[in-house]
């Protein structure tokens, strides 16, 4: 009885896994961006043509923010050095 239930649960899990795999393969087939493994430029594809643009915009924003932080901190650091003469 318990063995039978465990087998049924394993089969159900296997079916869920197979179904997820089938869905993923269908998405990959329909996507014009990625290769047959679902990769785009070495990264997992979102199968969304606008995702690449959003990512590029996010990276640009992050870089701008980092540049802004660096520019604000550098003068303060230089001022501290000038004030601390040996």
Site residues for Zn ion per CB under 5 A = 31, 33-34, 45, 47
Which one, 21 or 67, has the nearer CB to Zn ion?
Answer: 21
3-state class of 44 per DSSP? strand
Which one, 42 or 75, has the nearer CB to Zn ion?
Answer: 42
| In 31-85, alpha helices (H) | 49-83
Q: For residues 12 and 4, what is the distance between their CA atoms, to the nearest angstrom?
A: 12
Q: For residues 54 and 40, what is the distance between their CA atoms, to the nearest angstrom?
A: 15
Which one, 12 or 20, has the nearer CB to Zn ion?
Answer: 20
Give the shortest CB-19-to-Zn ion separation in angstroms: 19
């Amino acid at each position: 009885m318990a063995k039978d239930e465990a087998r049924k649960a394993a089969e159900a899990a296997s079916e869920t896994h197979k179904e997820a795999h089938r869905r993923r393969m269908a998405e990959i087939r329909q996507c014009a961006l990625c290769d047959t493994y679902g990769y785009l430029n070495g990264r997992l594809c979102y199968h969304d043509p606008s995702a690449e643009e959003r990512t590029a915009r996010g990276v640009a924003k992050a870089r701008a923010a980092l540049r802004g932080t660096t520019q604000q901190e550098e003068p303060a650091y230089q001022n501290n050095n000038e004030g601390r003469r040996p």
